[in-house]
Chains A and B, each alone.
Chain A
Amino acid sequence: MPATPGGFAGKVLRVDLSTGKFSTQDTFERYGEFLGGTGLGYQVLWEEVPAGAGPFDVANKLVFATGVLAGTSVPCSGRTAITTIFPSCWPKALVGSGHMGGQFAAKLKYAGYDAIIVEGRAERPVWLFIRDGHVELRDASRLWGGGIRRTTLEISQEMGADCCVAAIGQAGEKLAPMATVVNSMSHSAGGVGGVMGAKKLKAIGVQGSGGLRIAGDREHWERLVKFHLSILGANNQHVVPAFPSPESEYYNPGSRWVGEPGKRWGAAQPPVEITGSIHDMSRISYRTNSAAYFLGEQAWKHTVRGNGCTSCPIRCHTTLKVPAMATKYGLNEIAQGTCIALNFGRFFFPALPGGPKGQAALEACMIGMNMADDMGIWSNYGQIQRDFIKLANEGVFQAKLGSAEYASVPWDKWRAGDPAFLLDLIPRIGERRGELGNVLSQGSAGPFDHWGIPESSWEADHATTYWKMGHPKHHANEDDGQCGVIINTQYNRDAQCHSHTNFVRNGLPLHEQKRLAGELWGSPDSVDAPGHYTRMNPYKAQRAKWAIIRKELHDCLGLCNWMGPWVASPLKERGYRGDNSLESRFYSLATGRQLDREMLDLAGERVFTLHRALTIRDMATVDMRGAHDRVPRWVYEDPQGAQPFSQGTIRMDREDIGLAMDMFYEIMRWDKATGAPTRAAYARLNLDAVGKALADKGLAPESGK
């Protein structure tokens, strides 16, 4: 048996809920080829979950997998991937993963485990107790029916304050496809909560007292960590501040680097004023204030601090204190979150008194964060809110709901932009109460399946930003032209890829971006100005492939793809370069196994290709191009009738996107006609057995066309 390389905790814990039995496997020996994280999850699904298994079937498995860099001092390394047959994928559930930050990954590794494979189904509600080598299933009957906050509190009281609890709320218990699992108050993984609910697994509490071994030289490791810190920007790796600064040549009002000297965390006790150099590595955490970015100036006075994941200095989960929440709504006056979760409540309203950054917007956000993260409701990247607005505005609720149920909804509050509306709506969704709650809790699949609304009406409506298979676009053509389109065709849920958008939104002027792009992807033409897209070229295909593989790598290594890759930096003296080899440098030092950038990217490509193979197997078709890699109609239309490639439109050209897919398949060495990996493509990635298994079913082309 090979010695466990550094970085890995060493074991994978397998929990059979049907029998109550536990076992362990050697992580590296059994799963090392797929790195960890999603790679480990895909491997388990490929080997152990039969094709056609439904998300809530006993046969489905749920794989909580960290990565080799999680729990180390690498910045932005607090991620856990939860891979399973994904419930919100429509019309047929396919492989997918939700990802959460917080403290769970580090605690799990300190307990000695790189991953947990959950299988079977418990007879009654249980929660999984992990304290180092001590693992047991405990009765969760008293917790069942309750929210995530109470569950977390009770388990923490039982285990001790240094535990981390990942739990589901009512939405997960009721098998809602729109259900999350949440740890550390606000760190949620979307879509997978219902699978936990189906297995009657309410929560996992984990406590670890161990450590991790780094194989490489300590001084070298610490130098690399320090270097990584030096090239960090703010949230989403925005590398220029939002404000003109004497310390920066560039600024960008759209940057998430909003922490300007002089701003104050007004609700901290005592309030904290941001001072000092904006480049000070010990003050990176002051750069990001997600609430101020989304809600404007007013958020500063409510800011308590930034919260975030283990070893991440970005702290993108901003903690807010709004005393009115208690008196006005009977809710906790403290809440925290980032991005879509922060905006969960606000996004249900087409308009709010005082505008999108007024007091009502703030209160809607606070209600949303408090309730959604307690009931464990997922927004599907804001799609649940867009669906709600479309269904309400087009009179679908009025037409489809029974009159008594329709009348019971306080529509007057919704129209008036009263945040109190959410006190009625959110529990309906979380508890799947009534037809409205039941439909919304299924995501876009709800109106498609339940009311027979054709998916094409969503695909045609630009305002829905709906993409395919029950999910929306996630940084597509609106940010990155053909690269964004390609990336959004590849996954079975919203793509969750930020490699590309973190670059094009990094805040540097176009000439700097193009210079870096030339160095990174072979041509400045691999990047366009937003809304001024040029025709497809091979460099864009190269960048799309790079973006997807790095996303997959991050999900395998425990790194945050909301921050990485770090190929641009705030450092003028480096010509704003970051480091395209950072992941492989960390991997090699942590494990002691030398993998250069190309080799690690190849490992990432192997993982991504296994995801493709699983998708092909479970869809039982080789025609990925026609049946899977779809692009919605709105991408090819412009509300003002602008032509593709003209300035000021995100409209794409059908023929050009066809060429983009050709180029992407070609660079992936897949069959151009079907978009499926060929036998040779599988073999090149040491996936011969996978290729053969698919070929035996007629699902792997022999050679590319």
Chain B
Amino acid sequence: MNPGDTARLADAAGAAVRAASGELRLVDCEAVLEALASGGQFGESEPAAREAARALLPGLLAGHPALAALESRTGRTLYYAPDLLSRTYARILDRKGSPLLLMAEEIRLNSRDYPRPVPVELFQASPFGLASEDIARALAAMAADPEYRDISSATTATGAVYLFSTRHLERGYAVFLAQRAESADMNP
């Protein structure tokens, strides 16, 4: 593949990733390859060109200035366009297949960065979209799994349940922050 073809391949691959990001999808190299093929990128010499592209794509996507990558929960490298899909949102999309991981990592991130506990209802809303039974199941599973022993909950005076990670928040502080969040609308 000559430099011109390589540049065209990089552009097309970038466009394919952007299109996927616009549809809130993360894609790996194979999915990009598939998108390129269905878009007629390889023409008549498809098998050879496709193989050449398969070899080049990881480098091209990794070096693409408008794209970003993350290592998925299954170990694959997934690509997205950060101007269309934030890293935070991309992480959520990646973990959607695993409610335990999805909830635990989101709880940990919130406890670490903001810092704050999160209301349990957060996981029912978009983009998490978990049913209350799924959330209850995930919480029960976490309670029994040493890998998630840092995930804990606090119940406010009004009965609202907030979730936090003891790796990043002490219980007393988490309770305070939960109470504060719950009563924020009384302090406008």
Contact = CB atoms under 8 A, between A and B. Distances in A.
Do A and B make up one complex?
yes
Interface string A344-366: 00010000000110000000000
Contacts of A532: 173
B149 interface: no
B152 to A, nearest CB: 15
B172 A647 contact: yes
B115 A355 contact: no
Contact of A648 (B92, B113, B122, B173): B173
A2 interface: no
B187 interface: yes
B126 A262 contact: yes
B185 A253 contact: no
A356 B87 CA distance: 35
Interface in B134-188: 158, 170, 172-173, 175-177, 180-181, 184-188
Given A252-B114, A253-B118, A253-B119, A343 B188 contact: yes
Contacts of A248: 86, 88-89
Contact of B113 (A478, A511, A530): A511
Contacts of A252: 114, 116
Interface in A204-255: 243-254
A511 B112 CA distance: 10
Interface string B71-86: 0000000000000111
B39 interface: no
Number of chain B interface residues as a range: 20 to 34
Contacts of B128: 244
Interface string A254-271: 100000101000000000
Contact of A478 (B118, B122, B158, B187): B187
A interface, by DSSP: helix, strand, loop or mixed? loop
B176 A647 contact: yes
Contact of B125 (A243, A247, A479, A511): A243
A509 B127 contact: no
B88 A254 contact: no
A420 B128 CA distance: 39
B86 A246 contact: yes
B92 A244 contact: yes
A277 to B, nearest CB: 10
B15 interface: no
A340 interface: yes
Contacts of A347: 186
A339 B185 CA distance: 8
Given A356-B158, A510-B114, A246 B89 contact: yes
- Most chain B C-beta atoms within 10 Å of own C-beta, residue among A347, A475, A509: A509
Interface string B1-31: 0000000000000000000010010000000
A506 to B, nearest CB: 12
A246 B181 contact: no
Contacts of A531: 173, 176-177, 180
Contact of A530 (B126, B170, B180, B185): B180
Contacts of B176: 531, 647-649
A244 B96 CA distance: 13
A251 B92 CA distance: 13
Given A340-B188, A648-B172, A246 B85 contact: yes
Nearest to B184: A254
- Most chain B C-beta atoms within 10 Å of own C-beta, residue among A244, A294, A339, A382: A244
A251 B122 CA distance: 11
Nearest to A572: B86
Given A529-B115, A532-B173, A294 B180 contact: no
B46 to A, nearest CB: 33
Given A254-B181, A260-B126, A293-B185, A246 B84 contact: yes
B76 to A, nearest CB: 20
A250 B88 contact: yes
A243 B126 contact: yes
A245 B125 CA distance: 12
Given A243-B126, A511-B113, A249 B173 contact: no
A356 B185 CA distance: 9
A572 to B, nearest CB: 8
Contacts of A529: 115
A529 B170 CA distance: 14
A510 B86 contact: no
A250 B112 CA distance: 13
B108 to A, nearest CB: 13
Interface string B38-51: 00000000000000
A510 B113 contact: yes
Contacts of A254: 181, 184
Nearest to A647: B173
B162 to A, nearest CB: 10
A345 B149 CA distance: 44
B175 A648 contact: yes
Nearest to B162: A253
A355 B158 contact: yes
Contacts of B181: 253-254
A244 B88 CA distance: 8
A649 B177 CA distance: 10
Contacts of A647: 170, 172-173, 176
B97 to A, nearest CB: 17
Contacts of B89: 244-246, 248
Contacts of B24: 246
A550 B68 CA distance: 40
A260 B126 CA distance: 10
10 contacts: A246-B21, A247-B84, A248-B88, A251-B88, A253-B181, A254-B184, A356-B158, A529-B115, A531-B177, A648-B172
Interface of B: 21, 24, 84-89, 92, 113-116, 118-119, 122, 125-128, 158, 170, 172-173, 175-177, 180-181, 184-188
Interface of A: 243-254, 260, 262, 293-294, 339-340, 343, 347, 355-356, 382, 475, 478-479, 509-511, 529-532, 642, 647-649
Given A244-B128, A293-B185, A294-B185, 9 more contacts: A247-B84, A343-B185, A509-B113, A510-B113, A510-B115, A647-B176, A648-B172, A648-B175, A649-B176
6 tightest A-B CB contacts, nearest first: A648-B176, A647-B173, A509-B113, A339-B188, A648-B173, A246-B89
